Amino acid sequence: MFPVAVGAKAPPPIDSIETRQWINGRYVEASSDDTIQLYNPTTEEPLLRLRPSSQQDVDVAVQAALAAQPHWESLGSLAWAALFRKLAGLIRRDAAALVALESLSQGKPNTAPDAIRTAGYLDMISSQAFVCHGESTITTPGQLGITINVPFGVTAAIVPWNTPLLLSFVKIAPALLAGNTMILKPSERSPLSLIAVASLFKEAGFPDGVFNVVNGGADVGQMICRHPLIRRLSFTGCIRTGKLVSAAAAQSNLKAVTLELGGKNPSIVFDDADVGEAVRATEFSMVYNCAQVCMANSRIYVQRGVSQRFIAAFTERYTARIPADPFSEPTPPMGPVVDRRAYETIQGYIQEARRSGATIVDAGPSSLDHTRGKGFFVRPTVILDLPRDSAAAKDEIFGPVVSITTFEDDDEVLDMANDSEYGLYASVFTRDLSRAMRFARRLEAGTVAVNQTSPTILLDLPFGGMKQSGNGYEFGAQAIRDWTHQKGLLIRTG
């Protein structure tokens, strides 16, 4: 992989960047004549072109995975774990180059820790490969009952553009550590780090065909969802696409599906909270990756007794952030949003909130980088007095736009926090542990954090959504088990 220093102030050379699909242990050009144009979100300039995979390419990748699966399964947990530990070391070695690719194509700051966090996750999950075992029962006289976990065979993952490395490996690693092989489809908006990391599987010693990468947009995603030889699928993205994925999977071969479909995540600050820490934590949640994160706390509810102090401190801190070139010096806290479509969508929500009568607080024109006159830069924006029925209050904006609402008591804020079709992540700031535990049970969210907020998660704790934020879980030791069939074995003993 091309050499690059951590925090490098220039993007990697374009001619060093790989764009081809990875099938059966090597890079191969797609057979399609179409092309996908990638853009640099910092400059709005064309970056690279890549060819999307065709149905023929997807079929070849699936056949490679199918042929590789029996041998891969036979290697067993000890070998699987050793290979993933080696892969983790290679990702650490090339972390700067991988992050630079994400900065170039997606816009996140060039010191983002995603590659290092990915390597840490691989260390953790590989240690769990030995605990995916069955159970036994002797409660029926003359019978020994045993459950055994067996792989699905060929599996697939369709992953988003916002955190490509980590959100891919929380699917790849459990699937392979359960004895499956995999086809990965990165987002067509930010595929470069995942195309690059594919070659590290070869260097680490993974057999050819165990891991494959195909390129493309929604049409290639549908090829994967409908493929009759793919038996299990994991998807991360928006609700609308998740429903299409689920329908296509059901209509083809009823393949098992895990969906992680985003959030509109509430953070609740009570009047007994450490207000300074609540400001720091909730503001960072909206800074991290320019709030293009499914668990960003884009709805903040503050109890009236501390509301003026919180709003003043949060607004001053947040609107002082100036998005800039992710390769600039010093490294900025925020870069651009991913592309023009995202930029225009975010601006649309801000204007809709303004028309609804809300108060908009920002640091100036929400427009382009003042040093260039170009780039998909959105100024951090705070919305006050936002009506509950407005689109900005209900939809996942996926950008640096946060609403702050004042509340009086527990019942009122619980009603507001749960008034959403999403249920991914919630957080509570309070010194009252009994209140925190009460809210943890009553908040309709798959994860509830106390006196902290996103992007904090525990790699060894299951993560998943309620309501329309999805089904199934990732992270945690049970993630490997979820990529297996549980088979019952009956043995007559007398």
Burial of 445: CB neighbours in 10 Å, binned 0-12, 13-18, 19+:
buried
What backbone phi and psi angles, to 5 degrees, belong to 406? Answer: -90, 145
Closest CA to 447 of 284, 295, 292: 295
Cis ω before 455 (30° cut-off from 0): yes
Q: Please pick, among 260, 283, 444, 474, the residue that the annotation labels catalytic.
A: 260
Cis ω before 330 (30° cut-off from 0): yes
Residues 291 and 275: their CA atoms lie apart, in Å, by 21
Cα three-residue angle 137-147-154, rounded to 5 degrees? 175
- Asked whether the beta carbons of 454 and 293 are under 8 A apart, the reply is yes
Residue that is written with structure tokens 């640096």 in the block: 400
Helix (H) or strand (E) holding 423: none
**337: region left, alpha or beta (phi > 0 left; psi from -120 to 50 alpha):** beta
260 given a catalytic annotation: yes
Q: Which residues of 16-40 are buried (b: 16+ CB within 10 A; e: fewer)?
A: ebbbbbbbbbeeeebebeeebebbb
Sign of CA dihedral 84, 86, 92, 97: negative
Residues 213 and 219: their CA atoms lie apart, in Å, by 15
Task: Give the residue numbers annotated as catalytic, written as ranges.
Answer: 260
